[in-house]
Amino acid sequence: MSEDVQQASAAPANIRRERRRGSAAASLGTIAEYFDLTVYAYLAVVISPVFFPGNDPTASLLATLAVFATAYFMRPIGGIVFGRIGDRFGRKRAMVASIIMMGLATIAMAALPSYAAIGVLAPVLLVVARLFQGLSAGGEIGGAMTYVFELFGPGRRGMGAAFVVLGGIVGNAAAAIAVAVMSALTTAEQMQTWGWRVALLLGLPLLLLCLWMRTRISDTPEFTEAARRGETARSPLREVLRTHPKALLKLLGLAIAQNAGGYIVLTYVGIHLITVGGYDRTTVSWLSAGVILFTGLILTPLSGLLVDRFGVMRILATGLIMTALIAYPALTLMTGSGLAVAAVAYVLLVLGIPLVQTANAALFPSLFETRVRMTGLSFAFNIASVIAGGTAAYIATWLIRATGDARSPAYFVIAATLIGIATLTTVRTAGRD
């Protein structure tokens, strides 16, 4: 075989190897970050009296969920900070930094003393730890989406996006499994005393593995070439606000729909089944993990294939319409019809979510130029996370308390999804390839 032929055959193999390593590092990081970010939600019922003791369990739960939401108010700032690092100094550096910050914040949270031990300082420190978690998460999803988008070429970006989405799904499912295992192995008193701390720390080995993997990957060829030419932005946020305002608004509208549906499933449905449906916490934790993991493992790769086969626009529209149509009947079936029916309703509610998430993950990076891509994506996506993501469980709980209607969270999902559908009509193209 000639030298030219050997080089030609080696190049695709090198590209495939880089794609495998890069997508694994991005996916593992998303698993670790989303585990740490959302395990708190699964523990909300347990730790609410630890940090917010009182005679009204609902008020304590609302306070705990409000702290959960505070992390999301830091995410746009994290998007700006890590987006600047990613657009100026490389996607790899931003992804490594976000993992380190999340690990330190989670360790600090697991070590926090209770309200009984130090009084009001306990919930204050809890808020601080959540703020740093939110800052880290603000850089994670934009960095992972950007890295994978630039690593995979046209015609394969649906599958590349699926790796990132799958990481978030597995991370959330792993959080539910961790809480279920700890609940099964401990008494209610033990879980409230120390079990929740162990559950928080179960994601630490995965964080360390991801950190090791991310230090071994290369930056994307697209960013490397832009840096070589001196085409990186000096002030990415200022530039993206000036040059891509329509792209930011389109991403915001679509991400609001994605976050509302996704976070109702990930952070609220379990609470709903426990507090409204009256089902056992351990059973609900296993059910949540099973539904999210099973549907995610099947539907997310399938969604990636469908995006590459039929295009972003069709798959995104299908997912949004499915979510809007299923939300109300699904929540109706979750109350008073038995656990088996509730489980079926849970599955139905999840069906459209991977389609929306995967299509958006392939679409969002294409809306921005390389020089401002990570900043634009991270900033707009995280604002949507504040509006409709971290607040989803709080809004749903508040709606039921205010209206007395256990199905009222569905109205929130439907309204957000309609925003996404309206926004989609303004997106004329899949963006830049």
What is the pLDDT, as a whole number, of residue 429?
56
Query: Within a domain: residue 227?
Result: no
Cite the DSSP H helix spans in 186-244. 188-190, 196-201, 204-214, 221-228, 236-243
Q: What is the mean pLDDT of residues 245-263?
A: 95
**Domain span at 93:** 14-216+243-424
pLDDT in tens, 162-210: 989 988 888 877 887 888 888 888 888 888 889 889 988 988 888 899 8
pLDDT in tens, 68-119: 777 778 889 999 999 999 999 999 999 999 999 998 998 998 999 988 888 8
Query: Within a domain: residue 224?
Result: no
C-beta of residue 342 within 8 angstroms of C-beta of residue 371: no
pLDDT in tens, 386-405: 889 878 888 998 999 899 89
Query: Within a domain: residue 128?
Result: yes
- pTM check: above 0.75: yes
Query: Within a domain: residue 228?
Result: no
Q: Give the model's confidence band at 8: pLDDT under 50 very low, under 70 low, under 90 confident, else very high.
A: very low
Q: How many domains does the chain have?
A: 1
Query: Within a domain: residue 170?
Result: yes
C-beta of residue 8 within 8 angstroms of C-beta of residue 15: no
d(CA 131, CA 256): 21
Name 80's Cβ contacts closer than 8 Å, sequence gap at least 6.
Answer: 138, 237, 375, 378, 379
Q: Is 92 helix (H, G, I), strand (E, B) or coil?
A: helix
Average pLDDT, the chain: 87
d(CA 274, CA 252): 32
| CATH number of the domain bearing residue 172 | 1.20.1250.20
Query: Within a domain: residue 429?
Result: no
Query: Within a domain: residue 63?
Result: yes
What is the pLDDT, as a whole number, of residue 413?
96
Query: Within a domain: residue 93?
Result: yes
